Amino acid sequence: MTILVVPLLLLAACSSSSGSAKTQVASELATTSAALRGAGPGKECHPASAPAMHGAPTVVVPEVAPRTLQVTDLKVGHGDPVHAGQSITVQYLGVACSTGTQFVTTWDRNLPYATRLAPPLMEGWIRGIPGMRVGGQRQLVVPPRMGYGEVGYRKLVRPGETLVYVIELESIS
């Protein structure tokens, strides 16, 4: 029943002869839509809300979401650097910039993630991981256009969200 009531209320408000009622409904819809979006470039971010667990590193969330990919080496590894197109195994965790909430980690399961540095992997990883060496840790701050974009990811990442990842390179193959 509730699902039907909300659209009917919106329809009633929009069909009202009052221009101010239409403006108020449009304003409320825009506010609700903005609240459901993530922190895009230039928007305020929030510090990580939970301490790192299970051996995972601490994530440093920027105060303001950057417009470009930000790459910071936390620990330099050893051996040859990884290149785009190579297959890698990593441990990683991801935090949403707008909430400071961790949305994914491999450290809690101790189950490394194997992938190839090529599409369909997100562009932020394809551009941000090359140059790492085995044993190295790197933080990537990924703007929406290089992450999940305007669609988000399931219910875990809002549309337009800036993502903060800490990645540890375990192997290159």
Tokens of 162: 């800036």
Q: Can you give the pTM of this predicted structure? A: 0.75
Instruction: Count the residues in the chain.
Output: 173
Q: Is residue 152 part of a domain?
A: yes
Complete DSSP assignment for 109-167: TT--EEEESSTTS-HHHHHHSTT--BT-EEEEEE-GGGTTTTT-BTTTB-TT--EEEEE
Q: Is residue 137 part of a domain?
A: yes
Q: Is residue 22 part of a domain?
A: yes
pLDDT digits (tens, 9 = 90+) for 84-105: 999 999 999 999 998 888 999 9
DSSP 85: T
Both 76 and 31 in a single domain? Answer: no
Contact 141, 69 (CB under 8 A): yes
Both 28 and 83 in a single domain? Answer: no
Q: Is residue 96 part of a domain?
A: yes
Q: Is the pLDDT confidence value at 51 over 80? A: no
The total number of structural domains in the chain stands at: 2
Q: Is the pLDDT confidence value at 3 over 90? A: no
In which domain, by residue range, is 31 found?
2-35
Q: Is residue 88 part of a domain?
A: yes
Instruction: In whole angstroms, give the CA distance from residue 66 to residue 130.
Output: 20
What percent of the chain shows pLDDT beyond 70? Answer: 72
Both 18 and 86 in a single domain? Answer: no
